[in-house]
Amino acid sequence: MMLRIFFALCSLLLFTTVAHAQNRVTLSGFVKNAQSGETMIGAMVRFPDLDISASTNSYGFFSVQVPAGTYQVEVSYIGYNTIANTIELKQNVQRSFEISNESKEIEEIVISASSRPNQVKSPQMGALKITAEEIKKVPVIFGEPDILKTIQLLPGVATGNEGSSNFFVRGGGGDQNLILLDEAIVYNASHLLGFFSTFNSDAIKDVNLFKGGIPAQYGGRISSVLDINMLDGNQKEFGVEGGVGLIASRVKIDGPIVKDKSSFMVSGRRTYADLFLKLSNDENVNQSKLYFYDLNAKMNYKINDRNTIYLSGYFGKDDLGYSDQFSFDWGNATATLRWNSILNEKLFSNTSLIYSDFTYNVRVNSNDNDFGIASQIQNWNLKQDFTYYGFNNHSIRFGLNALSQTIRPASLSAAQNSSVNSIAVDTRQGIESAIYASDEWKVSDRFSMIYGLRLTNFMVMGPGTFYDFDDDGEAIAEQQYGREVVKNYLNLEPRLSMSYLLNGNNSIKASYNRIVQHLHQLTNTTSSLPTDQYVISSVNIKPQIADQVSLGYFQNFANNGYEFSTEIYYKDMRNQIDFRNGADLQANNQLEGELLFGKGRSYGIEWLLRKNRGRLNGWVSYTLAKSERQFDQINGGEWFNARQDRTHDISVVAMYELSKRWTAGATFVYNTGNAITFPSGKYQLDGSTRFYYTERNGYRMPDYHRLDLSVVYEPTPEKKRFSSSWAFGVYNAYNRRNAYIIDFRENEVNPNITEAYKIALFGAIPSVTWNFKF
Amino acid sequence: MKRFFIPAIFLLLCQLLSSCEEIIDINLNDADQRVVIEADLNNLPNTQVIYVSRTVPFNDARPREIVADAVVMIVGPRNNVFPFVYSEEHQGYINRSFNVRENATYSLSVTVDGEVYESTETMPVAVPVDSVGMLRENIFNDTYYFATLRFQDPAGVPNYYKYNVSVDGKPMKFFSVFSDKFNDGLYVTHQIGSVDNDIEMTSRVIVRRQSISAAVYRYWNEFQSTNPGSAAPANPTSNISNGALGYFGVSSATVYEFDFSTYQEFSSQDTSQ
């Protein structure tokens, strides 16, 4: 049925292409970086005389229709020089533009360094874009530029624990963010138990975060979409760049394979904390392992002016081991094969075949324990997306995808004489298919909107044993299924985002979205661990559904030098998951009996003020929010605060250009402590003090605040092609002892007295990194 | 399994980041008092004690509020009633003529201020130990000593074990519970240390092994899997009715003694006794 709707839509659009467009002509093409030939995402192509503009899609392509004539065309991108060209448009023209962020200029006339795409005019709300250049300027822990740490500084995005890459958007859970790397789903976005994100910023072109009004082309996670694009590789010349830091080193090589036709990019990173372990005299310690590495690679081949093929991949691994007795490794792998095709100047097509997986392996070999635990979650995804520019004032996106999701839960395989048994847990498989259509429609000069619809069908597939449970979670019936559909969930997800321009510099926006989620992560610790179990929707587990409404006010002033925005939102979440007390989540075929289902709500208001130009750049963000959950079996059925509920969350990010060679940066964060469960009494059992808990998340961790500083020094290059820079930083500059864990214990001297203590993880941590490029 | 590597990870983190610890003041609410019942009855010859108390505020100087006026009794398998009476010496309720036997079912009834708290348990059959030994391990430059107990786990039935340990004459303390989820029917070694890591090369260690029921295992397993990293610590699920904290268990117990000064460096695995 879905296919039929889809093809009807296709033929409708192709037909109207012919009927429409008589004396209008189309200017289409790509916007590229003048130095590297990289395509630019979200660059603006504008006709000032007509007040018509278009922005490039995620492949750098744009298409815009105007009446035949000769026009001035301006092309701009954040932090780049805007260029202006005069173009004669008598018939359809395909043309690429190159823009530069360097001061020396080429033939076109430079107007000014431009700010980000005009947030006031775009109907999209709840969206934030960060470029790789910005990420590299923000001071972070250990001196490693980090996408996830940077987005945590934006309004509506909360951090997990100290130093964690885990993030929570508008009160949602950590597993409710769709993290895409070149369209591939990344399941576990962190290394070293969260202290580093899996994204090596050297390999990243740009990052888009959607927190509300999420466009119809995205689906599958109810709180946010973090869409990360990898660099394509320099089309014009070879380049090597890299950095040597205290924790990790990285290197990137890119360049043309066939000039202006094909290029590649390979980027790698590895930590070397484990090298210090080798210095130990203890044999167990010097044979231990503790490192991670990742590798990003991409290549593209331009078949002709209309067709390009991209192949990109990511592979990362963490390896932790103690002597030869214990080893634990985990990692993601993704691969994306894409074919871009300009079917005609008005219809852009992209076909993607995507694979991604996340695995972990544990090996224990001590005394007479000899066993391994292996778990894998993987998906194959086939996507077809079209963008149609054929109607005046409309840009229409439509497409379909089919995603096959497989979960092999941790199973245990023991050696012959081991003291444990092998345990196999049923593999679960689901097929999620979706079709969507959305239209960005400029209704009038002032009013524009993006409206869309996504239809998602999820099939829970056999084979396997499925159980029914009673109210206490005991299995009461079981049923065997063969290779067949066990259960089907069909959901319609409307999406809407619109803006009304009050005058040239300010606008109000409103949005609504419904999103359905079929993959759920089960975490019963405060930090998300690689061993966290994933489950898909099944007979007992209903899909998570979120409805979100938001309203916003946007204003640019001082000629777009400053941007101000405020958004208010309310999010309703259904079929949220928690656990019974003492739930057994590991190697449990009746895992679903351990789960509890409830609902959630979150609401808040966010403010963001950004300064984009001048020697001082940066932003101030403030979020006032609430996030709650309700489960009949928890907290006596009363609503309770979600762990990530934070009343106040403030970030200040400032970058100041001291001179041509010195740049200083500072980040300050302040937030209300996480909601947490503390005891409200004590008693004695087995001769020791025990704690008596009453209310779920009824307490707060102490307020968290921290200042990070950085200075970057770029000496004048001695040789023409070689440049380098030194980055010095201090994380937690005033050495604030933020509580990582608060726990309770008996006083050592008088065990009748009970005391609370905190553990702080990081004091002030200095860092130095040397970066080079040639 | 998870239990196995989370502490390992925390240990590693703490070692790596030389984290610091500090006593702090936290203003905790005073919740309504709850009744706490601890009845760990077994077949050892010492006096069987049932403790009844109430919770106290967190900052109270007392560790608990003892309830001395409860009506406590056990109903045995032939509906024979064993009243337990309060003993100041034991700070709990005792009955010197009470004995338990395997496979028999016992019911506990405790009445406090007119409220009745009840539970019923069947005493599991003991799983005999084949051999015991001592073991030394070096983990991150520190030496740890363990007592080891080897036995054949009965196949096809779930078995649960609980260990309490006393080191150098100090009071017995809970060490760990184990289930045979991952090693049903195998020849199993349990490696027993102490929660305070205070076993040294000269220590005398007493280990009490109990074959326990699923409900008692659940209680202690929930207790032992709560750590500072737990998302939502909660009171362990009790098998006693009416919202009482604590548990009621009837178990077969055996006591083993280890003298680590007799530990031999090179024949580490087994010194049969």
Dump pLDDT digits (tens) for A323-372: 778 889 999 999 999 999 999 888 999 999 999 999 999 888 876 678 88
Q: Which of residues 192-221 of B touch A (CB under 8 A)?
A: 218, 221
Inter-chain CB proximity B138 and A282 less than 8 Å? yes
Residue A191 lies in a domain: no
> A390, A20 in Cβ contact below 8 A?
yes
Domain span at residue A71? 2-113
A498 has pLDDT over 50: yes
Contacts of A582 in chain B (CB under 8 A): 218, 221-222, 225, 236-237
Is residue A586 within 8 angstroms of chain B, CB to CB? yes
Chain A closest CA to B245's CA: distance in Å? 9
- Shortest Cα–Cα distance, B30 to chain A (Å): 5
Of A566-575, A584-593, A735-744, minimum mean pLDDT range: A584-593
Supply the DSSP symbol for B222: H
- pLDDT bucket at A653, cuts 50 / 70 / 90: very high
Neighboring chain A residues of B233 at a CB cutoff of 8 Å: 677, 679, 691, 693
Least Cα separation, residue A674 to chain B (angstroms): 11
Q: What is the tens place of the pLDDT at every residue in A423-449?
A: 888 899 999 999 999 999 999 989 999
Give first-to-last CA distance, chain A, whole Å: 55
B55 contacts A682? CB cut-off 8 A: yes
Q: Which two tokens mark B141?
A: 């430059």
Radius of gyration of chain A, Cα coordinates, nearest whole angstrom: 27
pLDDT in tens, A609-632: 998 878 898 999 999 999 999 999
- Report the alpha-carbon distance of residue B93 to residue B67 in Å, rounded: 10
Nearest Cβ partner of A682 from B13, B19, B56?
B56
Between A431 and A560, the higher pLDDT residue: A431
H, E, C per residue of B149-186: EEEECCCCCCCEEEEEEEECCCCCEEEEEEECCCCCCC
Task: Examine residue A597 and state whether it is found in any structural domain, yes or no.
Answer: yes
> Who among A586, A694, A757 is closest to B23 (CB)?
A757
Integer CA distances (angstroms), B98 to A334, A479, B93, in order: 66, 47, 12
Query: What pLDDT is recorded for position A415?
Result: 78
**Residue B6: predicted pLDDT:** 44
| Segment A187-204 mean pLDDT | 85
Q: Which of residues 105-134 of B touch A (CB under 8 A)?
A: none
Residue B30, pLDDT above cutoff 90:
no
Res. B1: pLDDT tops 60: no
Phi and psi angles of residue A96, each rounded to the nearest 5 degrees, phi first: -105, 145
Residue of A364, A347, A500, A475 lying closest to A419 (CA atoms)? A364
> Chain A residue with minimal CA distance to B33?
A681
**pLDDT-above-70 percentage for chain B:** 88
Q: Does B231 touch chain A (CB under 8 A)?
A: yes
Instruction: Kindly tell me if the per-residue pLDDT of A24 is higher than 70.
Output: yes
A 523-562 residues with CB < 8 A to B:
523-527, 529, 531
Give the model's pLDDT for residue B18: 46
- Whether A646 and A670 have beta carbons less than 8 Å apart is answered as no
CB contact under 8 A, B58 and A681: yes
Instruction: Give A721-769 as a DSSP string.
Output: S-EEEEEEEEESTT----EEEEEEEE-SS-TTSEEEEEEE----EEEEE
Distance, in angstroms, between B54 CA and closest chain A CA?
7
At which residue do the structure tokens 């809970």 appear?
A: B174
Contact A685, B36 (CB under 8 A): yes
pLDDT of residue B269: 46
**Contact between B36 and B244 (Cβ < 8 Å):** yes
Confidence of residue A48 (pLDDT cuts 50, 70, 90): confident
Residues A509-556 have pLDDT tens digits of: 999 999 999 999 988 776 667 888 899 999 999 999 999 999 999 998
Contact B191 A367 (CB under 8 A): yes
User: In this structure, what CATH number is given to the domain that contains residue A718?
Assistant: 2.40.170.20
Quick one: CA torsion of A165, A169, A170, A172, rounded to 10 degrees?
A: -90
- Give A 224-283 residues with CB within 8 A of chain B: 273, 282
In this structure, of A99-108, B155-164, B207-216, the range with the lowest mean pLDDT score is A99-108
Q: Is the pLDDT of residue B268 over 50?
A: no
**A388 inside domain:** yes
pLDDT of A6 over the 70 cut: no
Q: Which of A686, A741, A746 to mutate to test the interface with B (most CBs of B within 10 A)?
A: A686
H or E element in which residue A310 lies: strand A307-322
CB < 8 Å to A285, chain B: 140-141
Does residue A238 share a domain with residue A104? no
Please list every residue in chain A whose beta carbon sits closer than 8 Å to the beta carbon of residue B184.
421
Q: So what's the pLDDT on residue B182?
A: 85
User: Do A677 and B234 lie within an 8 Å CB cutoff?
Assistant: yes
In a domain, A154, yes or no: no
Contacts 24+ apart (CB under 8 A), A102-106: A102/A34, A102/A35, A105/A81, A106/A34
Judge: B141–A328 Cβ closer than 8 Å, yes or no: no
Please state the rounded mean pLDDT for residues B216-239: 87
What is the rounded CA–CA span in Å between residue A735 and residue A766? 11
Contacts of A527 in chain B (CB under 8 A): 229
Q: Is B11 on the interface with A (CB under 8 A)?
A: no
Start and end residues for every CATH 2.60.40 domain found in chain B: 35-122, 125-227+251-262
Helices in chain B by DSSP H: which ranges? 2-17, 214-225
Q: Does the pLDDT of residue B221 top 60, yes or no?
A: yes
The pLDDT value given to residue A110: 44
Option in A290, A328, A695 nearest B5 (CB): A328
Percent residues over pLDDT 90 in chain A: 50
Whether A679 and chain B come into contact, CB under 8 Å, resolves to yes
Within an 8 Å CB–CB cutoff, is residue A753 touching chain B? yes
Q: State how far the Cα of A720 lies from the Cα of A249, in Å rounded to an integer.
A: 24
Q: Do B54 and A683 touch (CB under 8 A)?
A: yes
DSSP states of A173-192: -GGGEEEEETTEEPS--EEG
Residue A513 has what pLDDT? 95
The full DSSP string for A249-285 is EEEEEEEEEETTTEEEEEEEEEE-HHHHHTT-S-HHH
Residue A212 located in a structural domain? no
- Angstrom distance (rounded) from CA A43 to CA A79: 11
Does B182 sit within 8 Å of A696, measured CB to CB?
Answer: no
Name the architecture of domain B35-122.
Sandwich (2.60)
In this structure, are residues A589 and A190 in contact, taking their beta carbons and an 8 Å threshold? no
Residue A333 in any domain: the answer is yes
Beta bridge partners of A709: A666, A730
Q: Contact A60/A41 with Cβ under 8 angstroms? A: yes
Q: Does residue A219 fall inside a structural domain? A: no
Size of interface A-B (CB pairs under 8 A): 203
Percentage of residues in chain B having pLDDT higher than 90: 64
Cis peptide before A679 (omega within 30 of 0): no
DSSP output for A581-604: TT---SS-TTGGGGEEEEEEEEEE
Q: Are residues A108 and A244 in the same domain?
A: no
B113: Cβ contacts below 8 Å, ≥ 6 apart: none
d(CA A25, CA A65): 6
Q: Which of B35, B49, B52, B58 to substitute to test the interface with A, most A CBs within 10 Å?
A: B58
- Whether A683 and B221 lie within 8 Å, measured CB to CB: no
Predicted confidence at residue A321, as pLDDT, reads: 84
Measured CA to CA in angstroms, residue B1 lies from A362, A443, A733, B137, B154 at distances of 10, 59, 39, 20, 21
pLDDT at A493 over 70: yes
pLDDT of residue A620: 96
Comparing CB atoms, the residue among A285, A684, A694 nearest residue B140 is A285
**Domain membership flag for residue A519:** yes
Residue A206's pLDDT band, with cuts at 50, 70 and 90, is: confident
Of the candidates A83, A113, A143, which is a domain's last residue?
A113
Does residue B2 surpass a pLDDT of 70? no
pLDDT score recorded for residue A109: 45
Q: How far apart are CA A174 and CA A195, in angstroms?
A: 15
Question: Scanning every residue of chain B, which has its alpha carbon at the shortest distance from the alpha carbon of A674?
Answer: B231
The number of residues making up chain A comes to 774
Cβ contacts (< 8 Å) between A590 and chain B: which residues? Answer: none
> Given pLDDT bands bounded at 50, 70 and 90, which one contains residue A4?
low
What pLDDT score does A12 carry? 55
How far is residue A308's CA from residue A233's CA, in Å, rounded to a whole number?
14
Quick check: B24 and A756 CB within 8 A? yes
Chain A residue with Cα closest to B215: A582
Rounded Cα gap, residues A63 and A70, in angstroms: 17
Q: What is the pLDDT of residue B271?
A: 39
Q: Please report the pLDDT score of residue A138 as a whole number.
A: 81
Cβ-defined contact of B59 to A754 (cutoff 8 Å):
yes
Structure tokens, A122: 């775009």
Q: How far apart are the first and last CA of chain B?
A: 31
Q: What is the pLDDT of residue A527?
A: 67
**The pLDDT of residue B121 is above 80:** yes
Cβ separation of A582 and B55 shorter than 8 Å?
Answer: no
Asked if the C-beta of A759 comes within 8 angstroms of chain B's C-beta atoms, the answer is: yes
Q: Please check whether residue A233 is in contact with residue B53, taking contact to mean a CB–CB distance below 8 angstroms.
A: no
The overall average pLDDT reported for chain A is: 88
User: Tell me, what CATH number does A32's domain have?
Assistant: 2.60.40.1120
Least confident of A137-141, A579-583, B3-7, B79-83: B3-7
Question: Are residues A168 and A600 in contact, defined by beta-carbon separation less than 8 angstroms?
Answer: no
Q: Which pLDDT score is estimated for A106? A: 41
Q: Which residues of B touch A361 (CB under 8 A)?
A: none
Domain boundary among A113, A129, A145: A113
For residues B164 and B155, what is the distance between their CA atoms, to the nearest angstrom? 25
User: For residue B215, is pLDDT > 60?
Assistant: yes
Query: Which amino acid is present at B122?
Result: T
Fold assignment, B125-227+251-262: Immunoglobulin-like (2.60.40)
With CB atoms and an 8 Å threshold, state whether A692 touches B225. no
Q: Inform me whether the C-beta atom of residue A51 falls under 8 Å from chain B C-beta atoms.
A: no
Instruction: Give the span between the Cα atoms of A151 and A172, in whole angstroms.
Output: 15
| Residue B85 bridge partners (DSSP) | B94
Cβ atoms within 10 Å, residue A141 = 20
CB contact under 8 A, B183 and A420: yes
Total domains in the fold of chain A: 2
Confidence of residue A5 (pLDDT cuts 50, 70, 90): low
For B211, other C-beta atoms within 10 Å of its C-beta total 21
What confidence score (pLDDT) does residue B74 get?
Answer: 96
Q: How far away is chain A from the Cα of B259, in angstroms, using its nearest Cα?
A: 21
Q: Are B58 and A326 in contact (CB < 8 Å)?
A: no
Q: Report pLDDT for A10.
A: 57
Residue A477: its pLDDT value, please?
Answer: 92
Buried b (16+ CB within 10 A) or exposed e, A231-243: bbbbbbeebebbb
Whether B36 sits inside 8 A of A682 (CB atoms) is no
Q: Which of A90-104, A167-181, A747-761, B40-54 has the lowest average pLDDT?
A: A90-104
Residue in chain B nearest A750 by alpha carbon: B61
